[in-house]
Every structure is written in C-alpha cells, then in structure tokens.
Amino acid sequence: MLQAEDLSTLLPELYARSGDFTTMFARTAGLDGHKVVTVDLLDPQAPLPAPEAFAGVFISGSAAMVTDRAPWMLRAEAWIRDAARTDVPTLGICFGHQLIASALGGDVADAPQHAYETVTVTLTDAGLADQLLSVLPPKAPLQSAHSQIVTRLPSDAPPLAHADTGIYAARFAGNLWGVQFHPETCAEDMSIIIEDVRTALEAGGIDADAKIAGIKPSPDGPALMRRFRDIALGALPTGA
C-alpha cells in the first residue's frame, strides 16, 4: 500500500469512522489474513521496496495535486515506471490514478470544477472486456472526490471508463490500472467528505446540500477491490 495522505489529520471524522487508507482498502478488498505493508509516500525517509517485493500494490488518493511536482511525487513516479516494467498488479485510485498517468507520459490538470459526488461511470468497450473493470456493470454509481483529472492518457493506455467530467479508468503498461473514482468509499463516508469541503464547493457555486442529497450507494466499488485482490494473489491470471 503506497499511502499518499494522512487521513487522521486531513479528515479526522472520516478517520474515526473508517480508519486510514490502508484500513479502508484492506477491508473493502477482503484482505483479512493477508500481510498488508504500508509505505508512507509523504515520508522521504520511508523505504520504498522494489515492485517485485509485493504481490500487488494500491496507490491511494491524496489532497495533494499531481501538478505540484513535489519531490515525494517524483520519487513515487520513478517507482511507477519501474512497476510498469514488471508484472506486479498495481491499482492507483484518484490521485494514484493521476500519478500513474503522469509518470508514464500522460497529462493531469485542474478539473473544470470540484467533483465531490456520486457519479455514473460508464465502461468503454475496452473496459467491458478488461480483466479488472469488467467486474463492474456497464454503468455503475461510484463515489468521486477530486479537483484534478487526467486530461490525456499515455498513447498505449486505453480508456476503460468515463463519466461526464472525463476519463475515469485506464489500463496502463504492464499490469497497472488507474481509476478516478473511489471504490473504497461508501455512501456514508462520501457524505463526511462533502461536508468537509463544503466551503470550497460553495465558493465555486456548487450546492453542497444537493450533492449530499444525491449520494447513492456504490456496492460495485468493493467488487472491483476484491477483483484486484484476486488478480494480485493469483486467483485470476494476469494479462489482458
């Protein structure tokens, strides 16, 4: 688990309810009984093992912006390029998705507006046939919380899903995937997240109460997390 945010300080109410990213990811992916190693990407002194040290890797979301190009992000991007040369399954979520795209030659920029809501994610033909994304229905309600998006994918990365605000999933080199949505986040957690950013949303002309009222359950998110677990642990073959 490459963790790119400290939820205990960023979102203490969410942390009190659901734990840190490692806890949420392990729970929704059904990793009880499996060893989960957390690497704090924000700590420049934290050892960053080679990709081959892991059966599979999650890269978490973050309040940081990929376009800031902080040293810890550049270090993580170098690791991603190494991972792309291996068969180690890796899944970047939200910021993690953007970081993978940036590391492999794509572009990331500010979204037209803050996207904190339940969105309808639509699979592309490639997504319907993809080993990971095909666990989702053709259209799925999923939780979204971001201010930046991938605006251009690397040339060899097919888009697997989209929503009204742009690209929402892609398959990158090797066994790397990225999703803009948060499969680990439930409706109750989404309400806490929107409440936390209420001031920023309303400053941008977005009705936070309407966004909270529009939250829907997202049962397909954990299904995707468990599918990734099965790929990483060898219950499903790797490859296209």
What CATH number is associated with residue 24? 3.40.50.880
What pLDDT was estimated at residue 131? 96
What whole-number distance in Å separates Cα of residue 202 and Cα of residue 195? 11
In a domain, 237, yes or no: no
Q: Are 5 and 63 in contact (CB under 8 A)?
A: yes
What are the average pLDDT values for consecutive 10-residue runs of the chain, which has 240 residues?
Answer: 94 94 96 94 94 96 96 98 95 98 97 92 98 98 96 96 95 95 97 95 94 97 98 68
In a domain, 240, yes or no: no
What pLDDT was estimated at residue 240? 43
Contacts of residue 42, Cβ cutoff 8 Å, sequence gap at least 6:
3, 4, 5, 6, 72
Contacts of residue 85, Cβ cutoff 8 Å, sequence gap at least 6:
173, 174
What pLDDT was estimated at residue 238? 53
In a domain, 239, yes or no: no
Number of independent structural domains in the chain: 1
In a domain, 139, yes or no: yes
In a domain, 220, yes or no: yes
Q: Are 117 and 211 in contact (CB under 8 A)?
A: yes
**Which residue range forms the structural domain that includes residue 109?**
2-232
Residues noted as catalytic: 94, 182, 184
